[in-house]
Structure 1
């Protein structure tokens, strides 16, 4: 069978299997085993365990459960509420201070936890009622938190970036640095839209409610600064050449647990057990998907599907930006239905040769891909963050949350356009810190 036609069959059957309700990892294994048996015979099954476990034989993978523990220990405390309250106290006199506080808290908490749902829940529980009480439109209140929560997969340290780095054998340190400026760009675009939307609705006079003394502003900082110091320390250790991402993640996880115990009195064995249990579940899920995706990639390669697609794309007489537009459309649609980790692991082996052949930087592409995955988190039908917001504010209809999120989707699309026009937004910082082409 022609490899391109076979690739179309693999894509169709994979979509059908995943839509059947089977978990992503198990679905990939089923599809891989089926096609390997059909074209290589039963002997191909002998290689599957070796490929499955061989994919996990990578020291860099240790950073995934460590960063997840780091985020879980923060998410299990009042760190999100304290972070929100600290920003509110310091920004209350700034025009639009409350909405800026919420988006700033989302960005910082997302960076600390790396989890979009946890960010939405932690900041939204306090931020949404407070914004609505002061007269902010429901769409702005819900949409800003839903969009702000997505920043966790872009602003470092990001588990999604780690997965991309492992899947494409790209430097994780460069990927983390590449997400900094685009992440700040998105925060700025989100803030600009929220302020404009609030002003347009005629609620600008309600933006500066509340007043805090200097004592009140400083007394909240000891609860927040230690976690921020850990994030800065982790990034400094990686980029200063002091330790590897896995080593810094392990130290960061331990320090976050210690701070959670000391500052937030998380010393009950049951609370610690919940942190470790939830972290283990999420880590095993991600690692299983990584292992299954390794088998899936082997199947695509052994049947010459990946090579044939890359060769076919190379023969197309189309502008490379038309090609990138098609790739973005594919990622956008995939992100509507699948979690970011699954999309990256399935698509990266196929897309990387295509985008490098077309002359695009794989580090830059990682940022573009991640923003596409962010759009999926606040877009139906799966849009996880939409349902999290609906769960913590059930009196705001899903339709209103979706309508409030759409302008932020437009902000993300604008960010992708800006990255295409100015790729240095993603590549400049890694080149400055780690050297060009390092």
Structure 2
């Protein structure tokens, strides 16, 4: 059978299996085993355990559970509430200041936790009731938090970027650096839209109802600065040549647990156990998907599907931006139904030959891919962040939350267009810090 036709059959079978509702890792293993058995015989099946565990035999994978523990320790404290309170005190007089402070808190909390749902939950519990109390429309209150939470998978340290680096064999350090400026750009676009929408709607009357003294503004900072210092320390250790990403993640996780215990009085053994239990559960899930994706990649390569797709793309005379547009449409559709980690691990073996063959930088593409995954987090039918927000404020209909998040989807699309026009936003900082790739 022609490898391209076989590739189409594999894609359709994978979509059908994953949409059936079974776990992503089990679905990838099932598809891989089926096609290897039919087209390559029992010999390939006997290699599957070795490939799966071999994919997990990577020192860089240690950074995943460490960063997850780091985020879980932060999420279990009042760090989100303190971030929200600090930014509200400083930005209360800015037009749309409460929305802006929520978005800023989302960005900072996302950088500390690396988790979009955790960011939505932590900031939304304080931000949404306060915005509604001050007269902001429900759509604005809920949509801004849902969109702000998506920043958790772009702003470093990001587990999604780590997974992309492992799947594509690219530098995790470069990926973190590549996400910094685009992440800040999205924060600025979100904030600019919030200020404009508040001003244009004539909703200025709901602002400035609170006034804080300088003493009140400064007294909240000591509870926030230690976490920000950890982020700065993690980035310095990683890019200053002090430690590897895995070692840096381990130290960051330990410091976050220590701060949670010392500053936020998380003395209870049961509370620490919950942090470790939840982190282990999430880490095992991600690592299982990574191992299954390794088997899936082997299947694609063994049946010459990946090589054939790369050759077919190389023979096309289509403009490379047309190819990139098609890739973005594919990523958007996949992101509507599947979590970011699953999309990256499933699609990376197929997309990387296409991207590199078309002359695109893999680090720039990592940022574009991640923004597409962010859109998926606030888009139905899966739209994880939408359901997190609905759980926080069940009296706000999902349709209202979705409508409120749509302007931020437009900001993300604009961000992709800006990156296409100015790719240096993603490539300049990694080259400056770490040299040419």
1:276 aligned partner = 276
The DSSP-based 3-state class of the residue aligned with 1:95 is: coil
1:90 and 2:87 are equivalent in the alignment: no
1:333 aligned partner = 333
Distance in 2, matches of 1:59 and 1:96, equals 45
1:162 and 2:162 are equivalent in the alignment: yes
Distance in 2, matches of 1:23 and 1:267, equals 35
1:315 aligned partner = 315
1:262 aligned partner = 262
2:387 aligned partner = 387
- Whether the aligned pair in 1 keeps the contact of 2:313 and 2:354 (CA below 8 Å) is yes
Aligned-residue offset at 1:95: 2.8
Of the structure 1 ranges 356-365 and 192-201, higher mean CA displacement relative to structure 2 is found in 192-201
Distance in 2, matches of 1:210 and 1:41, equals 71
Aligned-residue offset at 1:36: 0.6
Aligned-residue offset at 1:205: 2.6
**1:22-76: CA deviations, max 9, x gaps?**
1000100011011111111112121011100000000000000000000000001
**1:197-239: CA deviations, max 9, x gaps?**
2222221132222111222212211111111100110001001
1:172 aligned partner = 172
1:372 aligned partner = 372
- Whether the aligned pair in 2 keeps the contact of 1:37 and 1:45 (CA below 8 Å) is yes
1:214 aligned partner = 214
Distance in 2, matches of 1:43 and 1:428, equals 46
Aligned-residue offset at 1:397: 0.8
Q: Give matches, 1:85-234, under 5 Å.
A: 85-234=85-234
Aligned-residue offset at 1:96: 2.5
Distance in 1, matches of 2:107 and 2:209, equals 23
2:53 aligned partner = 53
The DSSP-based 3-state class of the residue aligned with 1:179 is: helix
Aligned-residue offset at 1:165: 0.5
1:18 aligned partner = 18
- Whether the aligned pair in 2 keeps the contact of 1:140 and 1:197 (CA below 8 Å) is no
Distance in 2, matches of 1:402 and 1:198, equals 18
1:431 aligned partner = 431
How has the CA–CA distance of structure 1 residues 400 and 137 changed in structure 2, closer, same or farther, with 3 Å as cutoff? Answer: same
1:245 and 2:245 are equivalent in the alignment: yes
Report the aligned-residue RMSD: 0.8
How has the CA–CA distance of structure 1 residues 94 and 201 changed in structure 2, closer, same or farther, with 3 Å as cutoff? Answer: closer
Aligned-residue offset at 1:94: 2.6
Unaligned runs of 5+ in 1: none
Distance in 1, matches of 2:206 and 2:436, equals 48
Distance in 2, matches of 1:305 and 1:414, equals 34
**1:166-224: CA deviations, max 9, x gaps?**
11111111100010110011001111111222222221132222111222212211111
Runs of 4+ aligned residues of structure 1 deviating over 4 Å after TM superposition are none
Aligned-residue offset at 1:260: 0.3
- Whether the aligned pair in 2 keeps the contact of 1:51 and 1:295 (CA below 8 Å) is yes
- Whether the aligned pair in 2 keeps the contact of 1:78 and 1:264 (CA below 8 Å) is yes
Aligned-residue offset at 1:304: 0.3
**1:119-170: CA deviations, max 9, x gaps?**
0011011111111111112111111100000000000000000000111111
Distance in 2, matches of 1:200 and 1:394, equals 28
Distance in 1, matches of 2:432 and 2:137, equals 42
Distance in 2, matches of 1:159 and 1:30, equals 25
Distance in 1, matches of 2:307 and 2:285, equals 29
Could you tell me the TM-score, scaled by structure 2's length?
0.99
Distance in 1, matches of 2:207 and 2:308, equals 57
Distance in 2, matches of 1:187 and 1:330, equals 25
The DSSP-based 3-state class of the residue aligned with 1:184 is: helix
- Whether the aligned pair in 1 keeps the contact of 2:96 and 2:199 (CA below 8 Å) is no
- Whether the aligned pair in 2 keeps the contact of 1:71 and 1:115 (CA below 8 Å) is yes
Q: Aligned residue pairs: how many? A: 437
